[in-house]
Amino acid sequence: MVYEEYETVNGRKLAFTRCGEWSSTVILFFHGFWGASFYLPEDAGKDICVVSFDRPGIGRSDLIGRYRMEDLFLLINTILDDHGVKKVRVFGHSAGGYYAQVYAMLNRDRAISLTLLSSLPPMNCRRYDHLLSGSMKRRRFLTLYLKPITMLYFIITAKTSREKSEEIARSYIKNMSPEEQAFMEKNFGMYTKVIRSSGANNGKGAYYDACSMYDKREVRLDLPVFIWCGEKDVPTTPAIAKFLSEEFKARSLHVIEGGTHHMYLVRWHDAVKETLSLS
Segment 196-237, tens digit of pLDDT: 999 999 999 999 999 999 999 999 999 999 999 999 999 999
Q: What is the pTM of this model?
A: 0.96
What pLDDT does residue 34 have? 86
Averaged confidence pLDDT in the chain: 96
- Average pLDDT rounded to a whole number, residues 30-58: 96
CATH of domain 2-276: 3.40.50.1820
The β-bridge relationship of strands 225-230 and 252-256 is parallel
Q: What is the mean pLDDT of residues 191-196?
A: 96
Sign of CA dihedral 50, 220, 129, 216: positive
Q: How far is CA 171 from the centre of its chain?
A: 21
- What is the DSSP pairing of strand 87-94 with strand 25-30? parallel
Q: What is the widest separation between alpha-carbon atoms in the chain?
A: 49
The lowest-confidence range among 78-82, 191-195, 240-244, 275-279 is 275-279
Axis crossing angle, helix 69-82 with helix 95-106, rounded to the nearest 10: 70
- pLDDT tens for residues 90-131? 999 999 999 999 999 999 999 999 999 999 999 999 999 999
Q: Which residues contact 235 (CB under 8 A, 6 or more apart)?
A: 94, 118, 120, 133, 136, 261
Q: What is the mean pLDDT of residues 170-180?
A: 96
Q: Classify each residue of 214-233 as buried b or exposed e, where b means 16 or more C-beta atoms within 10 Å of its C-beta.
A: eeebebebeebbbbbbbebb
The domains of the chain are located at 2-276
Least Cα distance to 97 among 79, 78, 114 occurs for 114
Q: In which element (H, E) is residue 275 found?
A: helix 264-276
Name which of 259, 223, 214 is nearest 118 in CA terms.
259
Contacting residues for 243 by C-beta, under 8 A, at least 6 apart: 121, 128, 131
Neighbours of 132 (CB within 10 A): 18
DSSP 46-89: SSS-EEEEPPTTSTTSPP-SS--HHHHHHHHHHHHHHTT--EEE
